[in-house]
Amino acid sequence: MKQYYHVLGAKQFEKDELERLFDAAREMEGIVARGGDRRHEGRIMTTLFFEASTRTRLSFESAMHRLGGNVIGTENAAQFSSAIKGETLEDTIRIISGYSDIIVMRHTEIGAAKRAAQVATVPVINAGDGAGEHPTQALLDAYTIRKEFGKIDGLKIAMVGDLAYGRTVHSLSYILANYQDVMVYYISPDNVRIPDNVKKYMDEKGIRYAETNDLDSVAGSIDVLYQTRIQKERFPSVEEYEKASGQFIVDADLMSRMNKDAIVLHPLPRAGEITEEVDSDPRAAYFRQAVNGLYIRMALIDKSITESQGK
């Protein structure tokens, strides 16, 4: 039976593969600088977004075009007429497999990408499945860290914000668990702390971590501050939300207390949790991080199509 190279979750990646992927992404930077290439000319990617995520979709579509390929797709679950008529995800994937060479999928349900991969006859890339995983985001985050520092081993990384529902920090934790002497700080309001299953995974992999709700005390000693959004709807009242989120804002004052070689990351979009005055600080790496998403996705698409050819 034909095997496909799917990208379903961050746990599937081990260190060797990560390093090869990061090397491939670095190569993609050169390819984009030279105007892209045509290696996947004639290939078709379907972007199947059951929930809108415009920027993630555009990033994948740009990646496919930079490799010479074509894109078909849909962004609106409400428009996906077959689903409305009661079609199962499995039936949809079986049929879409016949129209394209790779499927990039966003869904609202945990595990949807895995279910898709079980019936697909082309590779599937998970672009986010509900509160589950968002592996390509975690890969681009890790790639950014490695690019900025030349390594991941030995770094101190603080993840800040809503650590309970923010799937990005879960996926990133699983990636970081492959590296040596990493120290992770989970910094969040008490009601949105990092889940036990993530901590258990880190324990099993022997990764050091600490939990706190005090960003200030940690800021001076870390290499990477990974900021995320805190969503109002997780809090019982607007007052409690504002009290909680107000403690975790990255502004010029906080930056003044951070190391001169530290960097600030954010999966974006941001609302107010990083103030605009920070943008001009060279340690503000979040826009550089966003562009890295293009290179990582190019590397993943290239690998998925290449290793699954001959269907």
Catalytic positions are 55-56, 85, 106, 134
Our finding on whether 44 is near its own copies (CB under 8 A) is yes
Q: Interaction with its own copies in 271-290: which residues (CB under 8 A)?
A: 271-272, 287, 290
Coil/strand/helix, residue 282: coil
Residue with tokens 């293009």: 294
Our finding on whether 81 is near its own copies (CB under 8 A) is yes
Q: Looking only at Cα atoms, what is the longest distance across the chain?
A: 58
Q: Interaction with its own copies in 82-101: which residues (CB under 8 A)?
A: 82, 85-87, 91-92, 94-96, 98-100
**Quick one: which of 1, 2, 3, 42 contacts its own copies (CB under 8 A)?**
42
Annotated ligand binding at 267? The verdict is no
Q: Tell me how far, at minimum, the Cβ of 9 lies from its own copies, in Å.
A: 22
Q: Tell me how far, at minimum, the Cβ of 15 lies from its own copies, in Å.
A: 28
**Quick one: which of 1, 14, 16, 35 contacts its own copies (CB under 8 A)?**
35
Q: What's the one-letter identity of residue 254? A: L
Our finding on whether 210 is near its own copies (CB under 8 A) is no
**Site size with its own copies, rule: CB under 8 A:** 52
Write the DSSP assignment of 252-272 as a string of letters: HHHHHTS-TT-EEE--S--SS
Our finding on whether 167 is near its own copies (CB under 8 A) is no
Q: Tell me how far, at minimum, the Cβ of 107 lies from its own copies, in Å.
A: 14
DSSP secondary structure code for residue 47 in this structure: E
Annotated ligand binding at 205? The verdict is no
Our finding on whether 27 is near its own copies (CB under 8 A) is no
The tokens for 70 are 């074509």
Our finding on whether 249 is near its own copies (CB under 8 A) is no
Q: Tell me how far, at minimum, the Cβ of 209 lies from its own copies, in Å.
A: 28
| 237-266 burial: b if 16+ Cβ within 10 Å, else e | eeeebeebbeebbbeeebbeebeeebbbbb
| 46-84 burial: b if 16+ Cβ within 10 Å, else e | bbbbbbebeebbebbbbbbebbebebebebebeebeeee
Coil/strand/helix, residue 187: strand
- Comparing CA positions, the residue from 124, 128, 136 lying closest to residue 109 is 128
Q: Interaction with its own copies in 53-72: which residues (CB under 8 A)?
A: 53-55, 57-59, 61-62, 65-66, 68, 70-72
What is the helix (H) or strand (E) element at residue 60, kind and residue range? helix 54-66
Name the residues that contact its own copies, by CB under 8 A: 35-38, 42-44, 46, 52-55, 57-59, 61-62, 65-66, 68, 70-76, 79-82, 85-87, 91-92, 94-96, 98-100, 229, 268-272, 287, 290-291, 294
Residues annotated within the binding site for L-aspartate are 85, 167, 229
